[in-house]
Homo-oligomer: A and B are copies of this chain.
Amino acid sequence: MSFLPSELIKKKRNKNALEPIEIEGFIRGYTEGNIPDYQMSAMLMAIFFNGMTEEETLALTKAMLNSGEVIKHSNVKSFKVDKHSTGGVGDKTSLILGPVVASLGVAVPMISGRGLGHTGGTLDKLESIPGFNTQIDLDGFRKMIEEIGISFIGQTREICPADKKIYALRDVTATVESLPLICASIMSKKLAEGIDGLVLDVKFGTGAFMKTSNDAEKLALALMKIGQGYGKKVCSLITNMNQPLGRFAGNSLEVVECVEIMEGKSFIGANGKDLYEDTRELSLALSGYMLWLAGYKNSIDDCISAARATLYDGRALAKWHELVRAHGGRMSELPVSLNKFEISSLQSGYISGFDTENIGICGIAIKAGRAKTDDQIEPTAGIEFHRKIGDFVKTGESLFTIYGADLSLLNGIKEQLVRAVVFCKDPVRSDNLIHKVITQ
């Protein structure tokens, strides 16, 4: 097919819907280098302003998906399911739900990303384990799924090259925050994994991209439409990211938290509560829905119970160690930070909220996260959260512990971290962690 790229930009600019064949041609032209960056960025900005219909978004996803390889797990008989989270601070559930679900015989072929901005990334957490190799080729990935039912890799050259190119361009042209572009980027990569089902963890709140549950729900529905358009089983959990999840944010620290949870442990914090509870319960809920999509049990409650059992009888932990070994990781060498110090409260009161995004940005400052894609991660850097929304804290009681190799960096975020805690005089209750489940 022949068309003028500028005419297609104009069509979208003028609020007209593009035909699937036009979208396919534009994306192919861009991927092959026949359409230059400057025309794609004009198109992206036009999409930012005028949006896309469901049909267009589906066509965009398809074009991005078909720009690369769609993995086939021909030798894997079991259901294949993955989870995608829109990102948050301390969001480490993949490291638990993967082993949990795989330990029950449902395959988890997961292609993950790195952390960027205030949110962390699964690959960075895994790579804090010495030797853990996430840069495995697709044959190795397929083989690992066949053999142990689980693998975590990064996006390869073969997977959605169009998305890789477009994502980098969006980052520098202020076209990240566009629903159809976000949807196509997420779903093309997930569909390339060769999955049968997908559980979406769409977060809202002070630490999420979507600030309100309404916006999160809209994104969830748009993502689900695409998955369903591809005949996949999909459901969404709309979850609360108004405070960091669990006890730690920071790569090797989060691995510690996940392993301890898979060891069946709790951690009673300064507030007298189990600080692993939210990480554990969200991981189990997501695992439960993954199993439920796989038809493991008929009821969601039974699926969650089955998932919970694997944390206490060692099956999840065994699968975790199998996974780490398969990727070349050496758990015994997990690094520990050289320095740590506590940050205490300068006031007393009930904690009514956190500026969670700013906590994530503190994480970037101590190299637990990245501002730019080529920033280096310091694997032991991180923040421990001693308190949760609703806690009463007295002046001088500890709020956070900061960990990391570079003491001067740690000192640099002290004030910013304290300011990220919002106090009030009257008792407050934390909202539910799982706000809503959308199952169809």
- Residue contact B172 to A38, C-beta cutoff 8 Å: yes
With contacts A46-B45, A46-B174, A174-B13 taken as known, whether A36 is within 8 angstroms of B37 at the C-beta atoms is yes
Whether, in the assembled complex, A218 has its beta carbon less than 8 Å from a beta carbon of chain B, the answer is: no
Cβ distance A93 to chain B, nearest Cβ, rounded Å: 30
Q: List 15 A-B contacts (CB under 8 A).
A: A6-B171, A7-B174, A9-B174, A13-B174, A38-B40, A38-B41, A38-B169, A39-B172, A41-B41, A41-B42, A41-B45, A42-B44, A42-B173, A45-B45, A46-B174
Nearest first, the 5 closest Cβ-Cβ pairs linking A and B are A45-B45, A42-B173, A10-B174, A37-B38, A9-B174
Q: Pick the most buried of A7, A169, A173: most chain B CB atoms within 10 A of its CB.
A: A173
A10, B42: Cα distance in complex, Å = 14
In the complex, chain A residues 141-179 whose Cβ is within 8 Å of any chain B Cβ = 169, 171-175
Cα A173 to Cα B39 in complex, Å, equals 5
Within A1-37, which residues are at the interface with B (CB < 8 Å)?
Answer: 5-7, 9-10, 13, 36-37
The docked-state distance in angstroms from the alpha carbon of A44 to that of B173 is 11
Chain B residues closer than 8 Å to A36, beta-carbon distance: 37-38
Q: Is A49 an interface residue (CB 8 A)?
A: yes
In the complex, the chain B residue whose C-beta lies closest to that of A12 is B174
Is A267 located at the chain interface by the 8 A CB criterion? no
Taken together as a complex, chains A and B put the C-alpha atoms of A39 and B40 apart, in Å, by 10
Given A42-B44, A45-B42, A46-B45, decide whether A173 and B37 contact each other with a Cβ distance below 8 A: no
Judged by a CB distance under 8 angstroms, whether A48 is at the interface is yes
Does A9 contact B42, Cβ atoms closer than 8 Å?
Answer: no
Give the docked Cα–Cα distance between A173 and B49 (Å): 15
CB–CB B46/A9 < 8 A: no
A175 touches B37 (CB 8 A): no
A6 to B175, CA, bound (A): 9
- What's the Cα separation between A171 and B171 when bound, in Å? 24
B174, A6: Cβ atoms closer than 8 Å: yes
Taking A45-B46, A49-B49 as contacts, is the C-beta distance between A9 and B173 under 8 angstroms?
A: yes
- Mostly, the A contact residues are helix
* Cα–Cα, bound, A169→B38 (Å): 8
Chain B residues contacting A7 (CB-CB under 8 Å) are 174
Tell me, in angstroms, the Cα distance from A156 to B169 when the chains sit together: 33
Question: In chain A between 28 and 85, which residues have their CB closer than 8 angstroms to a CB of chain B?
Answer: 36-42, 44-46, 48-49
* CB <8 Å contact, B173 and A38: yes
**Residue ID in chain B nearest A11 by CB atoms:** B174
Interface membership of chain A positions 209-252, coded 1 if the CB is closer than 8 angstroms to chain B and 0 otherwise: 00000000000000000000000000000000000000000000
- Residues from chain B with Cβ under 8 Å of A174 in the complex: 6-7, 9-10, 13, 42, 46
- Chain B nearest CB from A282 CB (Å) reads 31
* Residue of B with least CB distance to A40: B38
| Residue of B with least CB distance to A169 | B38
Docked CA distance A7–B371 (Å): 14
Q: With A and B bound together, what is the CA distance between A7 and B10 in angstroms? A: 24
| A45/B13 in contact, CB under 8 A | yes
A362 to B375, CA, bound (A): 56
Q: In the complex, A5 Cα to B173 Cα: how many Å?
A: 8
Chain B nearest CB from A13 CB (Å) reads 5
Residue of B at shortest CB range from A46?
B45
* Residues of B close to A10: CB separation below 8 A: 174
CB-defined contacts of A46 to chain B, threshold 8 Å: 45, 174
Instruction: Say yes or no: A172-B5 contact (C-beta < 8 A), given A13-B48, A49-B49.
Output: yes
In the bound complex, how far is the Cα of B12 from the Cα of A174, in angstroms?
Answer: 10
The distance in angstroms between the C-alpha atoms of A94 and B232, with both chains bound, is 66
- Proximity bits, A387-414, B CB within 8 Å = 1, else 0: 0000000000000000000000000000
The interface residues of chain B lying within 8 Å CB-to-CB of A45 are 13, 41-42, 45-46, 49
Chain B residues lying within 8 Å of A173, measured Cβ to Cβ, are 6, 9, 38-39, 42
Report B-chain residues with C-beta under 8 Å of the C-beta of A41: 38-39, 41-42, 45
Interface centre among A13, A37, A42 (most CB of B within 10 A): A42
CA distance A44 to B40 in the complex (A): 13
Inter-chain CA distance A41–B6, complex, in Å, is 12
Q: How far is the CA of A36 from the CA of B41 in the complex (A)?
A: 11
